Amino acid sequence: MTVYARVIGTGGYLPAEIKTNEDISKTVDTSDSWIFERTGITSRRIAAAHETASSMAEIAARQAIEMAAIAAEEIDLIIVATGTPDNVYPSTGCMLQHRLGIKKCVAFDIQAACSGSIFGLDMANQYIKSGAAKTVLVVGAEICSRIVDWTDRGTCILFGDGAGAVLLQAAEQEGILSTHIHSDGRFEDLLKCPNPQALGEPDVAGYISMKGNEVFKVAVNTLGRIVDETLAANNMQKSDIDWLVPHQANIRIIAATAKKLKMSMDHVVVTLQEQGNTSSASVLLAFNEAVRDGRIQRGHVVLLEAFGAGFTWGSALIRY
């Protein structure tokens, strides 16, 4: 019998504070039109002082658990993707486990930057298919606003905060059809966020730095290849895909991927405009939104894909 990792619940959380392009233009040399034309972003959410990756993850996770109509204690594995953990250790996954009141469960973090949720789905899929886990919670949670230099026009316009969650369970019905993940550390200097204390350079600012044009070129080419790889692995045509749920980094990258699929933007889930780039949370936030508003229905074939620092990139093809 073939065992699939099937989605049984989704969740998401966005902080209350909204920072608009106009707000940013008051502190750096930019404008609403300049930002929107280049990125597709008009605003983003900013975590309150008391909020952390684990507190946001808890809210998203509880929504997924409620949708799935299961007890939290049924979860036997928690995977949290984050580049902005509450602590170096213990892991945000362990902190989320405690917040959810689960005593018998394995929990850990992964760090694959903006591709984190895709990497998490890949791991969850392998655990369930192998029989090592039955019910897995995957969460992407980020407070990007705290690692952004708000005087750097090139990066501060891009990022926002939030958390997305998906709950997977072993099933005989089709669920995750395939996952594909890749990494290439040669591109380290194009997109990075240093850890000053670990580097022995505590005076260095631990902010995101990015060479935008170079990242854009690699992202577009790489995501084009991942589309081909995913379709070939499943003997599918582009027309077999009902929905594209991309990482929400830049509307031009999203449009280029949709063009590769010959897909109308009406079948692309876009949350970028009012959320910005929430890194590892963005794909799951977008997926949750489209499930909850009824666009993504049971039986639909959904392609999730992402590209992030590392570089890392990947896809997950799901029959929802």
The four Cα atoms 167, 170, 174, 176 give a dihedral, to 10 degrees, of 50
Whole-number percent of the chain with pLDDT over 90: 97
Given the residues 21, 250, 277, 288, select the one marked as catalytic.
277
List pLDDT tens digits, range 116-174: 999 999 999 999 999 999 999 999 999 999 999 999 999 999 999 999 999 999 999 99
Contact 165, 10 (CB under 8 A): yes
End-to-end CA distance of the chain: 20
Which strand ranges, in their side-by-side order, compose the sheet holding 106-110?
A: 4-13, 161-171, 135-143, 77-81, 106-110
Tell me how far CA of residue 28 lies from CA of 58, 111, 290, in angstroms. Answer: 34, 30, 34
Q: What is the mean pLDDT of the chain?
A: 97
Spell out where 211-265 has E strands.
Answer: 243-246
Q: Nearest CA to 238 among 224, 249, 227?
A: 227
In whole angstroms, what is the distance from residue 44 CA to residue 169 CA?
32
The residue with tokens 């031009």 is 252
pTM: 0.97
Total Cβ atoms within 10 A of residue 138: 30
Mean pLDDT of 6-12: 98
> For position 202, what pLDDT does the model report?
86
Give 142's DSSP letter.
E
Q: Spell out the domain ranges in the chain.
A: 4-173, 177-319
Residue 36 is encoded by which pair of tokens? 């929107």
Given the residues 21, 144, 180, 247, select the one marked as catalytic.
247
Q: Which CATH class is domain 4-173?
A: alpha beta
List pLDDT tens digits, range 15-35: 999 999 999 999 999 999 999
Q: Which CATH class is domain 177-319?
A: alpha beta
Annotation marks residue 277 as catalytic:
yes
Which of helix, strand or coil describes residue 95? helix
Annotation marks residue 180 as catalytic:
no
In whole angstroms, what is the distance from residue 44 CA to residue 159 CA?
7
- pLDDT of 36 > 90? The answer is yes
List pLDDT tens digits, range 276-290: 999 999 999 999 999
- pLDDT of 204 > 90? The answer is no
Tell me how far CA of residue 8 lies from CA of 5, 29, 61, 65, 153, in angstroms. Answer: 9, 45, 12, 9, 40
Annotation marks residue 87 as catalytic:
no
Same fold, 4-173 and 177-319: yes
> For position 205, what pLDDT does the model report?
85
- pLDDT of 203 > 90? The answer is no
- pLDDT of 266 > 90? The answer is yes
- pLDDT of 309 > 90? The answer is yes
Residue 233 is encoded by which pair of tokens? 């692995």
Given the residues 21, 94, 105, 114, select the one marked as catalytic.
114
Whole-number percent of the chain with pLDDT over 70: 100
The DSSP-derived string for 264-300 is -GGGB---HHHH-B-GGGHHHHHHHHHHHTTSS-TT-
